[in-house]
Amino acid sequence: MPDISLTTLVFLCLAAAVAGWIDAVVGGGGLLLLPALLLGLPGTGAAHVLGTNKAVAIVGTTGAAVTYVRKAPVQVGTAVRIGLAALAGSMGGAFFAAGISSEVLRPVIMVVLLAVAAFVLLKPSFGTASPAERRKVTRTRAVAAVVLVGGGIGFYDGLFGPGTGTFLVLALTAVLHLDLVSASATAKIVNVCTNAGALAMFAYQGTVLWQLAALMAVFNLAGAMIGARMALRKGSEFVRGVLLVVVFSLVAKLGFDQWA
């Protein structure tokens, strides 16, 4: 582990806790965690920052997934099938990532996110599906969830990355008619699958700062479990509000990266 001051260590642990909370509620915790690692470890190579980020995130994501599965209506089989497709998609995206400029993708993603925010704002009923609506999911939609949500968003995660958890929540809500709490729960299981694949590759390459990751993971797990319990207790309206905050924050972050 590189030489890190106590102040920086406290900053990174707090960032890990808040990122775990955000990720558990609606996804997008990497929006905070990855920049925090880049700020806290300025002399560290990008591969080690990314590997450490995954080692921290998978712990909180797993904790949140377990909390959701125990207390929320989640179809674990469907979530695992989507997760396996997302794992394959992320590997494909990573394969093509070297040949594509992120400067080209950022404006496209910002437009998509703003469209999503407008949709959520203009349709208050989004993400509040009733049990009867959830039973209407056809086999075609179930297949689309695996191919488009799993494979498509998994590919995006490997290719570009920011906001993957948020996109998963939105897509699962739209395709499977899930309420936002159930969509967040399902997204956590999918994220565990994609994080596990990425972490295995980083570990194989030796680009994980395990000691730092282990300490930060404790705080990330605590934040994630608090966030999952709050989402379960407060319901879809709470998740909807956090979703909008994360979407606009992600647009601001992508805009800064693009033009600053």
Is the Cβ–Cβ distance between 177 and 133 less than 8 Å?
yes
Residue 132: what pLDDT? Answer: 47
Residue 101: what pLDDT? Answer: 56
Q: Which of 45, 46, 17, 44 is nearest to 33 (CA)?
A: 17
pLDDT tops 90 at residue 202: no
Residue 124: what pLDDT? Answer: 65
| pLDDT tens, position by position, 73-118 | 777 888 888 999 988 887 787 677 555 555 665 676 677 778 767 7
**Residue 153, Cβ density class (10 Å: 0-12 exposed, 13-18 middle, ≥19 buried):** buried
The rounded mean pLDDT for the chain is 80
pLDDT tops 80 at residue 123: no
| pLDDT tens, position by position, 159-181 | 766 667 778 888 888 888 788 88
> pTM score, two decimals?
0.76
User: Domain extents for the chain?
Assistant: 6-259
Mean pLDDT, residues 182-192 taken together: 85
| pLDDT tens, position by position, 28-83 | 787 778 888 888 888 787 778 888 988 998 999 899 888 888 887 777 888 888 99
**Higher pLDDT, residue 240 or 33:** 33
Q: Measuring CA to CA, how many Å separate 235 from each of 40, 86, 114, 239, 246?
A: 35, 26, 24, 7, 17
pLDDT tops 60 at residue 186: yes
